[in-house]
Amino acid sequence: MLLTGAEILVKSLLNEGVDTIFGYPGGAVLNIYDYLYKYKDKIKHYLSCHEQGAAHAADGYARSTGKVGVCIATSGPGATNLVTGIATAYMDSVPLVAITGNVSKDLLGKDSFQEVDITGITMPITKHNFIVKDINNLQETIRKAFFIAREGRPGPVLIDIPKDITSNKTEYKDLKPLEVEPKSKHITEDVLAEVAKYINESSKPLIYAGGGVINANATEELINFAEKLNAPVATTLMCRGAIPSGHRLNTGMIGMHGSNASNILATRCDLIIALGARFSDRVISDREFINNAKVIQIDVDPAEVNKNVKVDSFIIGDIKVALQRLIPLLDDKKNQEWLNTVDDLKLLAVTKNNNDNGEELTPKFLFEKLSDMDKGDFIIATEVGQHQMWTAQFFNFKTPRTLISSGGLGTMGFGLGAAIGAKVANPEKTVFNIAGDGSFGMNCNEFATAVKYNIPIKIIVMNNNALGMVRQWQSLFYEARYSQTTLDRATDFVKLAEAFGGVGFRVEKRDELENVLNEALAINKPVIIDYRIDSDKKVFPMVAPGAPIHQIINEEDLEC
């Protein structure tokens, strides 16, 4: 069957199971968009306000489902506008395929109108990228791109297609997607036995669980593993929801804004078991505590093993498979003395700053209300900043893939697009975007996208008239010199919501919150809630940059 490159692309996407694309058209992708129009009954296209919003929406779609998210942009500025979204997906191991158009082959390398070397630009932030210069390679390139995005450690792949490739014709055959198998060839009996020996000899183990657990769909195995060992579980931001917040072994987040319990346990354990976690600088800080314990690492990506921390033993391979084969080799443990220590330290989890004495609006008050209302169908997207950390600390996550947040890159402006993608992928779920007023200002134009398609996401702007996290650092480490972090904007978020065609609410008193949330949930439209908090509210606990993980700053320390 002789088809144009544009039709081959669209039919190949259908073969990969794609039914949703986020994008923005332009001259270099007109042929592709013409076929998207012809196949609009099979692939739903969402027109974003900005290409970055399309990339974040595809990312949110992927994180909330485990499927590959797809976005498309034209050449030049359209392609470069995807870069931040691609980098965000890369840092958090999100399966994404970004498709860009380019000028025709004869115009490449000549500084042509809207030409840019997008494969060169994105080489450091993709698992792989392609420029298709021969139409005969197009179909196989698409199949490879989806395979690479999904296999092993997931990540973004970019396909750049010159315009003449989309109009040329070649033979097309219906081909099945390349099959992805869990990586297990290095999970041998010998390595399993060695790791099991370390675990069985331990009396104070700590499980350090990262986003790789969720990527591997290994959350059930994580819980079984923890319960067999009676070992506390400290999670990274990317792993929130992998074990329910209320589980007896969950000690909360670890790292710079981790719980007192998780951070102190990391210095008192005799074995750290890292599952799908990369020992990032925001978790381990100065690495001093690693010297106090043996370290085991299980990860699908061999590049992560011994990269940031020297380990005593490791398993390279799919975490789900590794845990399924490892658990039968482990002794059932009581570890009662260790568990008593865990329970004692968990009582330190709430500091004075996070208590809710008085009538002011606080982050904890908000998230307790949201947690009470969640019947297991809430997905929480976030922007980046204080509100992101409060979400991770205070919301009662019950299941995986319910926190959609930019961890590695820390992309302000991520949450709104991601919430749109998550809601499109999960129409039966209630999707919130928790934002700061600074982050929301980055990409608030995407609220128009939500209104256009009536995607009824609920945005809560934690409005403190400041770039809160940067202000917090200035308060603690720069003698309160608030350089360019007080926003002083006259933006009325209620009117902004209405101007875009949505619904706006404002909460200034505690007794208003529950009614506003109930009203927002009852409205089948996009909603913005302006939630006013004090600009000096800080995120605690906190570990100063570069300080040992157990040197924790709590609010009461500042009052001394």
Is 91 noted as a catalytic residue in this protein? Answer: no
Task: Please tell me the distance from the alpha carbon of residue 460 to that of residue 387, in angstroms, as a whole number.
Answer: 10
* Residue listed under structure tokens 């409005």: 463
Is 139 noted as a catalytic residue in this protein? Answer: no
Tokens representing 290 are 């690693």
Out of 40, 113, 197, 495, which one is annotated catalytic? 113
Separate counts of helices (H) and strands (E) for the chain: 24, 22
Is 51 noted as a catalytic residue in this protein? Answer: yes
Beta bridge partners of 274: 208, 297
Is 469 noted as a catalytic residue in this protein? Answer: yes
Q: Which amino acid is at 102?
A: N
User: Is residue 21 within 8 Å of 70, Cβ to Cβ?
Assistant: yes
Task: Please tell me the distance from the alpha carbon of residue 436 to that of residue 205, in angstroms, as a whole number.
Answer: 37
Residues in Cβ contact with 435 at an 8 Å cutoff, skipping those fewer than 6 apart = 382, 383, 387, 415, 416, 459, 460, 461, 462
Neighbour-count burial for 201-215, b at 16+ CB within 10 Å, e otherwise: ebebbbbbbbbbbbb
Q: Is the dihedral of CA 284, 286, 292, 298 positive or negative?
A: positive
Element containing residue 71 per DSSP (H, E): strand 69-73
Q: Is 201 helix (H, G, I), strand (E, B) or coil?
A: helix
Task: Please tell me the distance from the alpha carbon of residue 60 to that of residue 23, in angstroms, as a whole number.
Answer: 14
Tokens representing 309 are 């921390």
| Closest to 118 measured CA to CA, from 63, 183, 61, 74 | 74
Element containing residue 160 per DSSP (H, E): strand 156-162
Tokens representing 554 are 């709590």
Determine if residue 39 is left, alpha or beta; phi over 0 gives left, psi from -120 to 50 gives alpha, anything else beta: alpha
Tokens representing 461 are 């702007």
Omega into 541 within 30° of 0, i.e. cis? Answer: yes
* Residue listed under structure tokens 């609009």: 40
Determine if residue 306 is left, alpha or beta; phi over 0 gives left, psi from -120 to 50 gives alpha, anything else beta: left
Is 484 noted as a catalytic residue in this protein? Answer: no
Q: Is 43 helix (H, G, I), strand (E, B) or coil?
A: coil
Out of 44, 105, 114, 227, which one is annotated catalytic? 114
Out of 389, 462, 469, 542, which one is annotated catalytic? 469
Out of 163, 183, 333, 423, which one is annotated catalytic? 163
Out of 16, 51, 151, 383, which one is annotated catalytic? 51
Instruction: Calculate the alpha carbon distances from 292 to 171, 269, 272 in Å.
Output: 62, 8, 10
Q: Which residues are tagged catalytic?
A: 51, 113-114, 163, 469
